[in-house]
C-alpha cells in the first residue's frame, strides 16, 4: 500500500547518508534487506528509495552495498560480484540462489 504522506522528493542527501550509515553497520557474513533498512529509518514504505540510494553511492564513499538483498534474500539481478563478495564473507545460499536469511539476516540492536 502506498503512503502518500511521504514526500519522496525530500529524501535526498540526508536520507542517503542515513542509509549508508546503517549499511556500514552490517557486519561481515550478515545481510539486511531494503525493507528492513527503510523500517529502521522510520520509513517502511521507502524500501525502493533505499535501493536507489545504494545504487547512487559516490565513488569516494565506502559502503558494503553487497550486504543488502531483497526480502526473499535474492541478490541484485545482473550484479554477479555481489554473490562472490557474500560467499567470500561466508554467506551461504539456498538452492534457489537466494541468501539463507535464517542463518545470515542481521538484526540491528540499539547500543546500550
Active site residues: 65
Label residue 68 exposed, middle or buried (CB < 10 Å: 0-12, 13-18, 19+).
buried
Contact partners, residue 92, CB within 8 Å, separation at least 6: 99, 100, 103, 104
Amino acid at each position: 500500500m502506498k503512503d502518500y504522506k511521504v514526500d519522496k522528493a525530500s529524501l535526498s542527501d540526508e536520507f542517503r547518508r542515513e542509509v549508508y550509515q546503517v549499511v556500514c553497520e552490517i557486519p561481515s557474513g550478515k545481510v539486511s534487506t531494503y525493507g528492513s533498512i527503510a523500517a529502521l529509518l522510520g520509513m517502511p514504505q521507502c524500501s525502493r528509495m533505499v535501493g536507489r540510494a545504494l545504487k547512487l553511492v559516490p565513488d569516494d564513499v565506502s559502503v558494503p552495498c553487497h550486504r543488502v538483498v531483497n526480502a526473499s534474500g535474492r541478490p541484485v539481478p545482473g550484479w554477479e560480484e555481489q554473490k562472490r563478495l557474500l560467499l567470500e564473507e561466508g554467506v551461504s545460499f539456498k538452492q534457489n540462489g537466494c541468501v539463507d536469511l535464517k542463518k545470515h539476516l542481521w538484526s540491528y540492536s540499539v547500543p546500550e
